Amino acid sequence: PGLTVLLSDDRYVPSDSDQSNYHQSRALFTALNLSADQVLRIRTELPLPQATMDSEGRLTQLLAGGRGITLGLLGLGADGHTASLFSAADLERARGRLALSVHRPDGRDAVSVTPTVLERVEQLIFLVAGSDKHIALDALLRHQPGLTAWQAVRGCRDVEVWADAAALMA
């Protein structure tokens, strides 16, 4: 029933903050003429534990009955993270969950989807830009087991990487 957009993660900041992925994406949602019901954002107006539980519940509803996610777009951090999954410890805590609260290396909190959700994406695309991503991109392309991003998507059926020239060059 129409397009639904879900954010893979967001910093635990007000939804109108320049640091919010939701806020940064609003122009796109407006251009697509999406209603608020069509965007599954992290509800950062709730206390962090409730925001995480709310995301878990809404993801459960979205995926009920075997429904998949047609397309997923992920970024890749220079440190090898994706979504707000930064470490092996985050991945371990994500087992059996659809949403997870994370304390980011920059000191902020965030809520992220888990590899269980990413595995439901039919076509997953990493969009990678910038020369600072070269080492992480190389590790992702080589499927290096120590890279958090690779561990997060290794169970996915179809993963593509779209990278700009700067990310590909040393």
Average pLDDT value for the chain: 94
Residue-level pLDDT at 25: 94
Query: How many other CB atoms are found less than 10 A from the CB of residue 30?
Result: 9
CA angle 39, 41, 44 (to 5 degrees): 150
pLDDT for the residue numbered 4 = 84
pLDDT tens, residue by residue, 83-129: 999 999 999 999 999 999 999 999 999 999 999 999 999 999 999 99
Would you state the pLDDT for residue 113? 97
pLDDT at residue 29, as a whole number: 92
**Which residue, 125, 122, 123, is CA-closest to 161?**
125
Tell me the residue type at 125: I
For residues 71 and 125, is the Cβ–Cβ distance under 8 A?
Answer: yes
Q: What parts of the chain have a pLDDT lower than 50? A: none
